[in-house]
Amino acid sequence: MAILWVDQKMSLRRIYNLDEVDRFILGTVGQPGEREFYIQVKKAGQVFSFALEKTQAQALTDRFKEMLREVKSSEGAAPRDNGALDMPIDSEFTLGVMALTWQIDSQMIRFEGQAITGDQGEEVIFDELASDETEGAPAILRIRITPSQARSFIDRASNVIKAGRPPCMFCGAPINPDGHICPRMN
């Protein structure tokens, strides 16, 4: 495991290289409608949390499913991890651009997630993953997981995402506990 600080002409880039992790899960904090989503990674007793949006969590889950179908991995899921997120949750950064790669030689999945950066409260999102040599590149997370860890992530993430507010049967928007104004019902 390595957390590197790469000096890019006086601009330090945090690089989290966490290969073969012990835990890779999605979890939330808060009540439906106000939940904050986190990917939590555990390696050698150290816990790292990374914030992301619900839509990103859904897209990542869908991409894991697609990738496992494409590579025809028959490896079963790791034991189900229904445990709570490890506390305290201090997000290292908020994920922006993410990428998955199937590594043929090791039969593992490489996940990369780049931080959203910003100055004075203004978010800047890179449209693609920056190379380590890119000046001023944002922090990046690199993890390698097994297909069984990906399946376990899919199972848990699907349940976590569904545990939010129920969708309106007419417009698909989430219904709050105090009601919902549906544009299709007007």
125 pLDDT exceeds 60?
no
132 pLDDT exceeds 90?
no
**pLDDT tens for residues 161-181?**
988 777 788 887 777 777 778
**pLDDT tens for residues 107-116?**
999 999 999 9
Q: Give which of 18, 13, 85 is closest to 49, Cα–Cα.
A: 85
Q: Give which of 134, 115, 133 is closest to 125, Cα–Cα.
A: 115
**What per-residue confidence (pLDDT) applies to 134?**
62
Cα separation, 93 vs 31, in Å, equals 22
What is the average pLDDT across 63-85? Answer: 83
Q: What is the CATH architecture of 2-162?
A: 2-Layer Sandwich (3.30)
**pLDDT tens for residues 20-61?**
899 999 999 988 878 999 999 999 999 999 999 999 999 999
156 pLDDT exceeds 60?
yes
**What per-residue confidence (pLDDT) applies to 8?**
44
**What per-residue confidence (pLDDT) applies to 118?**
59
What is the average pLDDT across 57-79? Answer: 86
What is the average pLDDT across 118-144? Answer: 66
Task: Tell me how far the alpha carbon of residue 113 is from its chain's centroid.
Answer: 7
Cα separation, 106 vs 99, in Å, equals 18
106: how many CB neighbours lie within 10 A of its CB? Answer: 12
Cα separation, 7 vs 15, in Å, equals 11
Query: Quick one: pLDDT band at residue 135, thresholds 50, 70, 90?
Result: low
